[in-house]
Amino acid sequence: VQAVFRSNLSHLMELMGSGKESLIFMKKRTKRLMAQWALAAQRLEQKLGGIQRGQKQILVHIGFLTEESGDVFSPRVLKGGPLGEMVQWADILAALYVLGHGLRVTVSLKELQSNLGVPPGRGNCPLTMPLPFDLIYTDYHGLQQMKQHMGLSFKKYRCRIRVIDTFGTEPAYNHEEYATLHGYRTNWGYWNLNPKQFMTMFPHTPDNSFMGFVSEELSETEKQLIKDGKASNMAVVYGKEASIWKLQGKEKFLSILNKYMEIHGTVYYESQRPPEVPAFVKNHGLLPQPEFQQLLRKAKLFIGFGFPYEGPAPLEAIANGCVFLQSRFSPPHSSLNHEFFRGKPTSREVFSQHPYAENFIGKPHVWTVDYNNSEEFEAAIKAIMRTQVDPYLPYEYTCEGMLERIHAYIQHQDFCTAPGPAPPAAHGPQSPFVLAPNATHLEWAHNSSVAPGSWPPAHSLQAWLAAPGRACTDACLDHGLVCEPSFFHFLNSRDAFIKLQVPCDSTESEMNHLYPAFAQPGQECYLQKEPLLFSCAGSSTKYHRLCPCRDFRKGQVALCQGCL
């Protein structure tokens, strides 16, 4: 059966069920965005030019909304609690539905069991039974529930699972034995999945797949209207919960901001004004999403106080023509030094409240400054008030961009079939290999016999030898490329090192998430023994890491030029 694009989402809203505040929020969002999804579907359909797309049967099990995992989010929807996850799930459901796949949605253990065909009371069913789904999208909570209730089928079918994982899971934390031996164990567990099965909210590390969400796209007329209607002295503070106003040292920068701008907030409150919010702030209380957008349309500045990290709101603000001002974190926040990231399966260092905004968008839309430096802060406010900015939304966060990306994943990602053999070593590059202090470009001579049908296509591979202490994530970005973990196996052989003219005196094969790598003293080459540990993230001053990089589409970092 072929998948046919859908433009009416009414049936999806029925599938989503009802009752919970979280589901009500998600359905309202889906309804509001229906026209945008329909238009995006039309555009993508044209772009794909009638290629064959098989219809998949897909189960979406939203684990964190189940009573069995506590459902702590639903009761907080109207109280300023986190909404980012619900934004994302609503958009994932919409995208899968619009792409024309067969969908089931479950938000309780009972529904999950009945959809999986597990007889009630047969929790640890020892039999493997046929799974009626090609793909299952869930989260860490759902994964745990499936493991408990699928018996042996879990092992057999886990390659069909995709885990929606906001902040990402790096390979070192995912591999059970390695995590246990080397101190990468966390409460999230180690599932030995292909790291690409974890799907993130922002493109944090290319070790995982970037899923994302959408923000509303504006027409040219709307953009012009917004530009004409901006109040150059109006600022909105990022954050729905009063606790973000407890930030130490905020008096200093707030009083500077207050000199120039009228400060608005959307902080949830019950009956009286939250004491944390100063009297000069005009607090609207928590707003419904469309009203929040209206507020952003009038405002010139959206200002972050350092928390929450990496949510959807700054993208919405920028899409509505605001400048986003945020604090630089020095030293960076990470699982080593910050409560929020502690125990999360990532070593990522976060250099500002919203690294995506800083690195993928930047000026004039995004300003990242040191809030402890009053001069720098004041200069930024003044400059922002003087600059005209257009509303901006990166393509990957439009409905079309998200559809394009999920379409490509569904079409090409296959974690159930083992990857093909490493390609034979071809002839070496012309220029001799020189070990420069910075990353060194290594020419990879492609031949057509290289893993036909693999995805991303092997011809987009460019190998770089990173400087000591540099992760592949960064080494690739330094060259305008992105690290592509599925290409590691091309580089992981003595032949590959030789072909790349890396002067190995000896070669060793071990489990280490930094391998393949080269250590200069001793001219030793290290190969990766465990494919699950291929990792773009991670660095050590001991090693030059051998990094597989690829190109990417402008505004769609998840996809290479030839990836569609």
**Considering the complex, what minimum distance in angstroms separates the CB of residue 266 from ligand UDP?**
3
Nearer to ligand UDP by Cβ, of 258 and 289: the residue is 289
- Number of alpha carbons in the 13 Å side-chain half-sphere of residue 492: 24
Nearer to ligand UDP by Cβ, of 240 and 297: the residue is 240
Strands (E), 7-154: 57-61, 102-106, 135-138
Nearer to ligand UDP by Cβ, of 174 and 320: the residue is 320
Residues 6 or more apart in contact with residue 44 via CB below 8 angstroms: 5, 400, 403, 404, 407
**Considering the complex, what minimum distance in angstroms separates the CB of residue 287 from ligand UDP?**
4
Q: Phi and psi of 198, rounded to 5°?
A: -85, 130
Nearer to ligand UDP by Cβ, of 13 and 357: the residue is 357
Nearer to ligand UDP by Cβ, of 160 and 264: the residue is 264
**Considering the complex, what minimum distance in angstroms separates the CB of residue 318 from ligand UDP?**
12
**Considering the complex, what minimum distance in angstroms separates the CB of residue 289 from ligand UDP?**
4
Q: How far apart are CA 93 and CA 52, in angstroms?
A: 22
Strands (E), 202-360: 209-210, 234-237, 262-265, 282-283, 301-303, 323-333, 350-352
Nearer to ligand UDP by Cβ, of 266 and 486: the residue is 266
- The residues that bridge with 328 in the sheet, in sequence order, are 352
Name the nearest CA neighbour of 414 among 482, 490, 484, 486: 486
**Considering the complex, what minimum distance in angstroms separates the CB of residue 270 from ligand UDP?**
15
Question: Would you tell me which residues interact with ligand UDP (CB under 6 A)?
Answer: 82-84, 87, 240, 266, 286-287, 289, 292, 308, 311-313, 316
Cα–Cα distances (Å) from 450 to 67, 187, 501, 513, 552, in that order, read 49, 40, 19, 24, 20
Nearer to ligand UDP by Cβ, of 124 and 243: the residue is 243
3-class secondary-structure state, position 75: helix
Nearer to ligand UDP by Cβ, of 151 and 394: the residue is 394
Element (H, E) at 37: helix 21-48
Q: How far apart are CA 244 and CA 102, in angstroms?
A: 41
User: Is the distance from CB of 9 to CB of 97 less than 8 angstroms?
Assistant: yes
**Considering the complex, what minimum distance in angstroms separates the CB of residue 72 from ligand UDP?**
13
The C-alpha angle 441, 445, 449, rounded to 5 degrees, equals 145
**Considering the complex, what minimum distance in angstroms separates the CB of residue 204 from ligand UDP?**
15
**Considering the complex, what minimum distance in angstroms separates the CB of residue 340 from ligand UDP?**
11
